[in-house]
A and B are shown apart, each in its own frame.
Chain A
């Protein structure tokens, strides 16, 4: 199968009985899903979550409807749910972190910061260091982290992120803004 073939064609091929087509999807998405889950949980547990995610994809791929969402959006939704389930089981995640949509204390502050000041040059410079970036991300709130990872690492639009996280577009945009402010705070401290 040629490499430039898109996801929908691969899925169609799989649905038509080509079992090997699923292998192509695994090869293509193992690394992105690993990165996503490793950043939301940790490197040690990430591969288990990725495996669990692929099993869920394999079980449900015949129900995948490309008219509702892209395949990438769909699998990241599954990966995100698998990660939160895993963390819930391990009880290492504060439920309030995931469930509260509030952060009222920084709302007005966030709205008043001009867009160009969200991440100053100095902070951006520090983030050049990969290790520093990864450590900073680890300190970030779970829901902020997922928005930043999906937007900057997976290069998803805010609309697609909204689909993955099941949140309205404006909520995602505002969380992105707050995530950058939080990131700036962590860097400056």
Chain B
């Protein structure tokens, strides 16, 4: 089709455009703000619960870890290191291997996971609280 006709057709399409309601854009913006607040609140709630649960879980987890460490004989190995430095220098490979073998791996992994979840959740909660305070301050300023 020639350019002239294409141009005319484009003009007719522009002329026939529908007009959305006047407050359509502000309405959409408001809806997104509301949804964002809702999502933020939900995340805040979930992360608060996660940080509380992980913190509560840390108490028994640390107790179990300490008990397992005692059982494993780790403290004996450590005292050996401090008492007899010369023999450590000669047998450090064997000692390191025995030390690694005796560690309660599962308890350590479990405790460290809880510590990780706790700090991650706490970081998000703090960030969110800061954001909310900022929003409240700007609202007050306006």
Evaluate whether A58 and B10 lie within 8 angstroms (CB atoms) in the complex, with A43-B18, A47-B20, A116-B1 already known. Answer: no
| A27 interface residue (CB < 8 Å to B) | yes
Does B94 interact with chain A (Cβ within 8 Å)? no
- Chain B positions 6 through 17: 1 when the CB is less than 8 Å from some CB of chain A, otherwise 0: 101110111111
Residues of B near A27 (CB, < 8 A) are 25
A31 to chain B: which residues have CB within 8 Å? Answer: 17, 19-20
**In the docked arrangement, what's the CA distance between A134 and B9, Å?**
12
Per the CB 8 Å criterion, the residue count for chain A at the interface is 35
Q: Report if B78 contacts A (CB, 8 A).
A: no
Q: A58 with B20: in contact, given A118-B1, A119-B5 (CB under 8 Å)?
A: no
Q: Chain A interface: which of B28-36, B105-113, B114-122?
A: B28-36
A34 near B20: Cβ-Cβ < 8 Å: yes
B83 proximal to A (CB < 8 A): no
Contact B17 A35 (CB under 8 A): yes
Chain A positions within 8 Å of B19 at CB level: 31
Flag if B10 contacts A47 (CB, 8 Å): no
Q: Does B2 contact A (CB under 8 A)?
A: yes
In the complex, the chain B residue whose C-beta lies closest to that of A131 is B16
- B contacts with A, residue count (CB < 8 A): 25
Assess the A47–B1 pair: CB atoms within 8 A. Answer: no
Given that A50-B24, A119-B5 are known contacts, is A34 also in contact with B18, CB under 8 Å in the complex? yes
Asked whether A152 is an interface residue with its Cβ less than 8 Å from the other chain, the reply is yes
- Indicate whether A134 sits within 8 Å of B16 (C-beta atoms), given known contacts A119-B9, A155-B10: yes
Q: How far is the CB of A79 from chain B (nearest CB, A)?
A: 13
Given A54-B28, A54-B32, A55-B32, decide whether A119 and B1 contact each other with a Cβ distance below 8 A: yes
* Nearest chain A CB to B2 CB, angstrom units: 6
Q: A30-B25, A50-B24, A155-B10 are known contacts. Are A115 and B2 too (CB-CB below 8 A)?
A: yes
Kindly report which residue of chain A lies nearest to residue B8, judged by CB atoms: A124
Chain A residues closer than 8 Å to B25, beta-carbon distance:
23, 26-27, 30
Q: What residues on A are CB-neighbors of B6 within 8 Å?
A: 152
Minimum CB distance partner of B15 in chain A: A130
Q: Beyond A23-B25, A58-B32: 15 further Cβ-contacts under 8 Å?
A: A30-B24, A31-B17, A39-B18, A51-B28, A51-B31, A54-B32, A58-B35, A116-B2, A124-B5, A124-B9, A133-B13, A148-B13, A152-B13, A153-B13, A153-B17
Q: List residues of A whose CB falls within 8 A of some B CB.
A: 22-23, 26-27, 30-31, 34-35, 38-39, 43, 46-47, 50-51, 54-55, 58, 115-116, 118-119, 124, 127-128, 130-131, 133-134, 148-149, 152-153, 155, 180
A-B contact pairs, 8 of them (CB 8 A): A30-B24, A39-B18, A46-B18, A51-B31, A55-B35, A58-B36, A124-B9, A128-B12
A-binding residues in B (CB < 8 A)? 1-2, 5-6, 8-10, 12-21, 24-25, 28-29, 31-32, 35-36
